[in-house]
Structure 1
Amino acid sequence: MDAKLQTGMTRSAALFERAKAVMPGGCSRNTILRKPHPIYAERGAGAYVYDVEGVRRTDFANNVASLIHGHAYPPVVAAVSEQLRRGTAFTVGTEAEIEYAEHMCGRNPAFEKIRFVNSGTEAVMGSLKAARAFTQKPKIAKVEGAYHGLYDYAEASQTAKPENWGQLERPSSVAVSRGTPQHALDDVVVIPFNDVERALSILDAQRDELACVLIDLLPHRIGVVPAAEDFVRALRLWTKQNGALLVFDEVITFRSNVGGAQQWYDIQPDITAFGKMIGGGFPVGGIAGRTDVMEVMNPLNGPAPFPLYGTFSANPVTMTAGHTAMKFYDQEAVDRLNALGERARRFICEAISAAEVTACVTGRGSMFRIHLSADAPQTYRQAYLSPKRAALLSTLVGHLFDGGLLMVETATGFLSTAMSEQDIDDMAAVVLNALRKIKPYL
C-alpha cells in the first residue's frame, strides 16, 4: 500500500522517514533538506521539476548550477543512451575522453592541457596539489568566505563567524569540520575579497611559502558579487612576481562565457578548476592550465610529481554527456542566457521597488542572488547573516518555493537554456508576492 495511504503523510514526508532510518540526517547531501521535510523529484523536463506529489516547479537551482540546459536535455539523453549500450566504464581509454579534451582546450587559450576528475571538489583539490607540486611550496591562499568544496585546505574559513574570523588585516584560518588538523589550517592564508591593499599585505608576509592564490570570480557564498578588476589584476601580478600560481575556481562560473568568467577580465590563470555544468548532468570535474604546470601530472617520463588517479575519471558516459552539452553551449547560447540573466535581475529590482522593501539583487551573466539589505555586500563579512537575518531569508525562500520556484537556499538562481522570457516574468511575479509577505518582518 502507498505510504501516503498508510500513514496520512505526503509521499515526500513518508520517504523522508524511510531515509532517516538509513542515512545520517536522511540524506547524502545537506542541500536537499528543508522544513518540515525535503521534497522528492519524480522527474524533470526542461526548466521544470515535478515532485512525487505531482507539483510542478520552475527550477532556478538546476542542481546547484550543474544543469546548463535544464532537465533531460534531448541531445544529451540521445547521446548518453547510445553510449550506455556500448559500456559505462573501462580500465582502458576511450576516444570520448580525447574528443572532449580537444573541445575544452579549444574554448580558451589558457586551457593548454586538461585532466578530468569526478567533482568540483576533486578538481579544486587537484589544482591545489598541482600548484604545490609545481612550486614545491606548502601553503595556499584563498578568499575569506569563498566556497571551494570539501577539501580541508579549500574549505577553510568558508563558515567563519564574527567570534572567530579575526581581524580584517589578518583573517583567521577557521575550520569548517570538527577535527580538521591545525597544521592544515596553518597552511591556508586567508585574504579579504576585493581589498587589494590588505590582500597584498597578507600575501607579502607569506610570499616564500605560497604555492598559489585560489579565487572564485563570482563567489556564491560572498553574495554573487563579481571580483573587482583591480583585485584580480593585482593577484595576477603578485603571483607572477613571487613564484606562485593563480588558480581560478570556475566550477560554477564557467557558464559565464564560452571560456569562463575569466574572459570578462582578459586575464589568464595558471590553472582552472571546473565541475558541475561540464558534465552534462553527470558527476564531473576538470583541471586545465599551462602545459608546464600540467606536466606535474605526466607519468611518461618517470614518476609524476603529482600522481593523479580516479576509477571513474573520464568515464565515457560523463565525457559523452559533457561534450554534447558543451557543444550546444556556444556563444549564441551564452549570449541568450546572459540576456535572460539581465532580465531576471532587472525584473527582481522592479519587484523590490514595487514591494517597497529593503532588498537588492546581485549577480552577473546567468546568475543572481537576492539580499534582504539595501546595499549589495562587497565582502564575506558584509554578506554574513546573523541567525535572525538567515531565518528571514529562509522564510523568503520558503515563500518562493510555495509559489512554484526552486532556488538555492541563499535565494540564489542559476538559469538554464531551457528557460524562456515568460519563465523569468513569472518568477518576478512570485518574487514580488514573496517580498510582500515578509515585508512586515523587515
Structure 2
Amino acid sequence: MSFTDNLLSLTAPLRERAVKVLPGGITRSTLFVAPHPPYAVSGDGAWVTDSTGHRVIDCNNNYTSLIHGHNNPEVMAAAAAVMTGGTAFGLPTEAEIDFAELLSQRVGLPSWRFCNSGTEAVMMAVRAARAYTGRDLLVRFEGSYHGTSDAVVASDSPGIPRGLAADVAVLPQADAETFTALMRRRGSDVAAVLIDLMPNRAGLVPATQEFAELVRSETERHGALMIVDEVITLRLGIGGLHQRYGITPDLVTAAKIIGGGFPAGALGGRAEVLEPFNPLGSGRVGWGGTFSANPVTLRAGQRAMELFDAAAIERLNALGDELRQGLVQAGVTATGFGSLTRLHHPQTTGLWWKLYEKGVLAGTNGLIALSTPMDTTDTAHILEAIVSSYKELA
C-alpha cells in the first residue's frame, strides 16, 4: 500500500464524519487537496503532526500567517496573560492603541482600524475609498487574490450579482498600456486601484518598479486612491513590500502575520482617507465587528510583530532567497522574493502529496512560506524534498 493510500485509510473515519456535516467535508476551499487532506493534531515550532502521527515541516504556515511557526512561547504568553482577565469586551482597550501605534510606526501610515481577516480588511479599504472619493469604480488586476468579498472575485462566479461588474474594472496583470488607457478614459470615475505587488495566485512574480510607480502616479493624477494589499507581503519588509518600491499608498491592508496566530486584519491609511469612519465626523461610515480589535489577538499580534524585527526579516528573507536559488539551480521553476516562494508544476496535486510524504507541508498551489524557527538544516530538507519530488514526477 502506498503512503497516500495508507494515510487516506487511516483518516477515513474523520473524513466520513466530516462529509456529513461540512459541504465536501471541509470549511476552507484553499486547504482542499484531492481526494481529501490529512487532519492536523498539533504543531510545535516549524513542525506539524497529523492524526496519523506523520510529521511535516510546515511550509504552509496557515497560508503565510504563522511567521513564528507554532506555539511560540512569547506569543502564547502574551495571549494567555490577556485571557486571565477576559477575551473581548463591549468597550475599547489599550491594546488597540498600542498596536495601532506600532503599525503606524512600521508601515508609515498614521491611521488604523482593526478587523478579523484579510477579506474584511480589503472590504473596509474599498468602502473607505468610495466614501472618501464619492466615486464607485474599483480597478483591480486579473489573477490577484484579495479575499472572498463580492467586489474582488470573478464577476461570473456563482452567487455574484451581475450588476456588480459595472463598478469593478478587472485589467490584465501588469499591463501598463491597458491600465493607462483605462485611467485616461475613466479616471474621474475611479475610487481606487487595488494592487498586490507580488500576487500569489497570479504566480508570485513581483511587480516591476515602473508599473508600481505608474499606478501611484496615475491614481494621484486622477484623484483616485492607491490601495496596496499587503495581507501576504507585509512579512517581506519592516513595513511591507511597498516600502521596497519607495512608494506611499493611500491605504494598506494587513492581516495574517499581524495576529500572532489568531484571526486578525487591519487597514492603515492617511488620516483624511479614514476620516469617514470617525463617529464624530460628518458623512459617518458605520463599521462594526464583534471581535474586531479584541485584546487577545492584538497582544499576541503585537508581540509577534515585535519579535519580527528588521534583523529577523533580513535573516528569513535571506534563507528564502538561498532556498529559491538552490531550486532554480536544480531546474525547478520557482518564483517569489524573500521568505515566499511559489513552485510551478503541472501536477499540482501530485506534487503536494509527494512533498507531504517526504515531510514537507506546502500550500495546495505550490506556495512555500518560511517561518522564523527554520534554519539552513530545515531549508536543506525542503530543497531535497522538492527536487526529488520533481524528479519522481518527471
**TM-score > 0.5 by shorter chain:** yes
Matching residue within 312, 323, 334 for 2:302: 323
- Identify the residue that residue 350 of structure 2 maps to in structure 1: 395
- Identify the residue that residue 3 of structure 2 maps to in structure 1: none
Give the Cα–Cα distance (whole angstroms) in 1 for the partners of residues 291 and 248 of structure 2.
29
Give the Cα–Cα distance (whole angstroms) in 2 for the partners of residues 27 and 122 of structure 1.
21
Partner SS, residue 282 of structure 1: coil
- Identify the residue that residue 393 of structure 2 maps to in structure 1: 438
Matching residue within 177, 195, 198 for 2:175: 195
- Identify the residue that residue 362 of structure 2 maps to in structure 1: 407
Q: CA deviation at 1:268?
A: 0.4
Q: Is the 8 A contact 1:394 1:409 kept in 2?
A: yes
Residues 1:231 and 2:211 are matched in the alignment: yes
- Identify the residue that residue 78 of structure 1 maps to in structure 2: 77
Q: CA deviation at 1:272?
A: 0.3
Q: Is the 8 A contact 2:196 2:230 kept in 1?
A: yes
Matching residue within 266, 278, 302 for 2:258: 278
Matches within 5 A, 1:285-300: 285-300=265-280
Residues 1:367 and 2:366 are matched in the alignment: no
Residues 1:350 and 2:323 are matched in the alignment: no
Letter in 2 for 1:312: F
* 1:195-225 CA-partner distances (Å, limit 9, x unpaired): 2112111222221211000000110011000
Stretches of structure 2 that go unaligned for 5 or more consecutive residues are 1-6
- Identify the residue that residue 163 of structure 1 maps to in structure 2: none
Q: Is the 8 A contact 1:218 1:227 kept in 2?
A: yes
Letter in 1 for 2:288: Y
Matching residue within 313, 317, 342 for 1:338: 317
Give the Cα–Cα distance (whole angstroms) in 1 for the partners of residues 248 and 299 of structure 2.
27
Give the Cα–Cα distance (whole angstroms) in 2 for the partners of residues 199 and 208 of structure 1.
14
**Bigger shift: residues 117-126 or 9-18:** 9-18
Residues 1:34 and 2:15 are matched in the alignment: no
* 1:380-434 CA-partner distances (Å, limit 9, x unpaired): xxxxxxxxx3xx2221222111111111111111111011111101111111110
Q: CA deviation at 1:148?
A: 0.3
Give the Cα–Cα distance (whole angstroms) in 2 for the partners of residues 62 and 282 of structure 1.
13
Q: CA deviation at 1:302?
A: 4.6
Matches within 5 A, 1:7-406: 10-109=9-108, 111-156=109-154, 174-176=155-157, 178-302=158-282, 304=284, 306-352=285-331, 359-372=332-345, 389=346, 392-406=347-361
Partner SS, residue 187 of structure 2: coil
Q: Is the 8 A contact 2:33 2:349 kept in 1?
A: no
Q: Is the 8 A contact 1:226 1:364 kept in 2?
A: yes
Q: Is the 8 A contact 2:65 2:257 kept in 1?
A: yes
Q: CA deviation at 1:191?
A: 1.5
* 1:284-323 CA-partner distances (Å, limit 9, x unpaired): 110001011011110113551x221111000011011100
Q: CA deviation at 1:120?
A: 0.2
Q: Is the 8 A contact 1:16 1:38 kept in 2?
A: no
Give the Cα–Cα distance (whole angstroms) in 2 for the partners of residues 203 and 61 of structure 1.
37
Task: Give me the TM-score of the superposition, normalised by structure 2.
Answer: 0.96
Give the Cα–Cα distance (whole angstroms) in 2 for the partners of residues 303 and 13 of structure 1.
55
Give the Cα–Cα distance (whole angstroms) in 2 for the partners of residues 409 and 329 of structure 1.
26
Matching residue within 372, 379, 386 for 1:424: 379
| Structure possessing the higher relative contact order (Cα contacts under 8 Å, 6 or more residues apart) | 2
Q: Is the 8 A contact 1:12 1:37 kept in 2?
A: no
Letter in 2 for 1:368: T
Give the Cα–Cα distance (whole angstroms) in 1 for the partners of residues 24 and 133 of structure 2.
41
Q: CA deviation at 1:11?
A: 4.5
Q: Is the 8 A contact 2:34 2:349 kept in 1?
A: no
Q: Is the 8 A contact 1:247 1:271 kept in 2?
A: yes
Q: Give the share of equivalent positions with the same residue, in percent.
A: 42
Partner SS, residue 431 of structure 1: helix
* 1:113-167 CA-partner distances (Å, limit 9, x unpaired): 00000100000000001000000001100011111001111123xxxxxxxxxxx
Letter in 1 for 2:387: L
Q: CA deviation at 1:10?
A: 4.4
